[in-house]
Amino acid sequence: MLTVLPDQLIGGALSRKHFAAECSFRKVEVWVPNWPAKFDGVRIGHLSDLHVGDLMPAARAIEAIDLLAQSKPDLIACTGDVVDLDVAGSEPVFKALGSLRAPLGRYFVLGNHDILDNARRVLRLARSSGLTTLRSEVEVARGGLRIAGIDWSRTLEGNAANVRRVVSGAAVPHLLLAHNPKAFREAARQRVPLTLAGHTHGGQFALLPKLRKQSRAAASRALRAGHYHEGESHLFVTTGVGGWFPLRVNCPAEVVVVTVRRGDTPRDRHRPS
């Protein structure tokens, strides 16, 4: 870890600041032209990258989950990396995730850290806690909302293959959950209305505090954090709750509620907070 020695040299100041920092609650409104009218205004609680371990005690992760619970979302989307390096100790966190109330369900996809130690145990914990785990498959929520989820892949090609797998032979899902935002490249080609992802942590650094909150065209940009669009397809990448190292600059930990509206983005109404 690159910050271990600097942190030691300054008497653990980085670690103290990291543990003192609060997780922010963020509301985002996304307008999607091909979103089903029946689900106009649906509120999706999105959290990712808890990284339960040395830098994220279970109690701290549960505080973030409780923060999301207070918003009473319609659907929960957890886009992976609940655990960091070791599954042990994450049990109460999965239980807290499974206890979130959401009438349209609670959904989970694996991140790259979830498979480092014991992927089977992670899946067992998720399922036994009441999370619907999506592994390159589509689930139809109450009322007909089609929710797809894909497994982790590092490469653009691997993510594209996973996306094609969930689209092939079935109606295009309305919502795609993927740990890696690279999945959006193929999701946009397949005209998936909305993709939610994590993984990047926003780099944990941002040069300007508000830069990550702007809506941006995806075609020529790295999909690092925030809202992107390509054609009629949209992507939101959360900066996540946990961290790879105890330092964030203009890129706070976050839980997010994404309100999805049907239609084109009104210039005066796209207001990420």
Q: What pLDDT digit, counting tens, does each position of 50-100 carry?
A: 999 988 999 999 999 999 999 999 999 999 999 999 999 999 999 999 999
pLDDT at 213: 52
pTM summary value: 0.91
Domains in the chain, please, with CATH? Answer: 28-252 (3.60.21.10)
Each residue's pLDDT tens digit, 196-212: 999 999 988 876 665 45
Asked if the model's pLDDT at residue 18 lies above 90, the reply is: no
pLDDT at 141: 97
Residues facing residue 228 across a β-bridge: 216, 235
pLDDT at 156: 96
pLDDT at 38: 97
Bin 236: left if φ > 0, else alpha if -120 < ψ < 50, else beta. beta
Asked if the model's pLDDT at residue 7 lies above 60, the reply is: no
The average pLDDT across 175-191 equals: 97
